[in-house]
Structure 1
Amino acid sequence: MSEGEKPGFIAKVIGPKKRWRAYKARVKELPESYRAALEATERYLMHFVPTDADSSAPMFEDLADLFEQAAANGSSIREIVGEDPVEFVDAFAQNYSEGGYAPAHARKQLTDAIERAAGNETGKTTRRSDHA
């Protein structure tokens, strides 16, 4: 970027493209269920957690570290995110940003995606209880 040139919208959200591409390459190497869970987490973060390029690049890299280590150790997705993925992601994001609000449908979408990914680990799908 030349002197005085403003960063584009994408650069404001994800940071430098080179770092983003390196992060995405790492995600691609994860086992399928871990990748699905990480991508669901990523979508939630990008849409509902206010970040800037200075905080989002390290945040996504740390997220990749977490999922890579869990996959290497054989930890389940539930061991990473717990029973409430929204709570996990919100707590994780607080280390990198202030505030944030996710509508109920976004929270449900994240929870459902994590449940599908966690079910893929064991070859079965996990059903949520109807008392939410």
Structure 2
Amino acid sequence: MWIEKIVGDLGGKKRYRAYRERVRRLPEGYREAALALEHYLLNLGPSGDSTSLMAMLDDLADLLEQGVAAGTPLRDVVGTDPVAFAEEFMQNYGGGSWIRKERDRLARAIDRAEAEERR
């Protein structure tokens, strides 16, 4: 569609708005946690692939909605270390982020340096 060439993928924007509406309907504590996790995931998650990013956000909303429906305390959903939770959660989704690329680059550089040192 010609309009998508001008304003971008409308399906993705609609999907993101639907996700945000789901988050808005969560109880306050869960909603605050969802927004904090979303912020972290948007900054460190699969930035190169909007499909993976939206799948990740939709799954996050599913997980939090299920926690609410089951009456599960928030800490039982995200654990005691929310950063570890977010990092493990992100590992389930494809797409690269700048931080993953830099971690991989660092690891490769150290491997090369170690190989050079052994010569």
Summarize deviations over 1:63-119 as a string: whole Å, max 9, x none: 0000000011111111111111111101111111356539xxxxxxxxxxxxxxxxx
| Selected match of 2:17 from 14, 21, 26 | 21
C-alpha contact (below 8 Å) 2:78/2:85 kept by paired residues: yes
* Match of residue 75 from structure 1: 72
C-alpha contact (below 8 Å) 1:49/1:97 kept by paired residues: no
* Match of residue 46 from structure 1: 42
Which stretch shows the higher mean deviation, 93-102 or 62-71? 93-102
Structure 2: which amino acid aligns with 1:67? L
Which stretch shows the higher mean deviation, 32-41 or 91-100? 91-100
- What is the CA–CA distance in structure 2 between the aligned matches of 1:23 and 1:74, rounded to whole Å? 21
SS of the aligned residue for 1:16 comes to helix
Q: Which runs of 4+ in 1 moved over 6 A?
A: none
- What is the CA–CA distance in structure 1 between the aligned matches of 2:87 and 2:7, rounded to whole Å? 27
Q: Which has the larger radius of gyration?
A: 2
TM-aligned CA deviation for residue 7 of structure 1: 7.0
Identity %: 47
Aligned pairs, number: 97
Unmatched segments (≥5 aa) in structure 2: 101-119
- What is the CA–CA distance in structure 1 between the aligned matches of 2:54 and 2:4, rounded to whole Å? 22
Unmatched segments (≥5 aa) in structure 1: 103-132
RMSD between aligned residues? 2.4
Q: After TM superposition, list the pairs within 5 Å mapping 1:1-132 onto structure 2.
A: 1-2=1-2, 5=5, 8=8, 16-51=12-47, 52-97=49-94, 100=97, 101=99
State the TM-score, normalized to the length of structure 1. Answer: 0.64
SS of the aligned residue for 1:45 comes to helix
State the TM-score, normalized to the length of structure 2. Answer: 0.71
Q: Check 1:78–1:89 CA distance in 2 against 1; reply closer, same or farther (3 A cut).
A: same
Q: Check 1:99–1:54 CA distance in 2 against 1; reply closer, same or farther (3 A cut).
A: closer
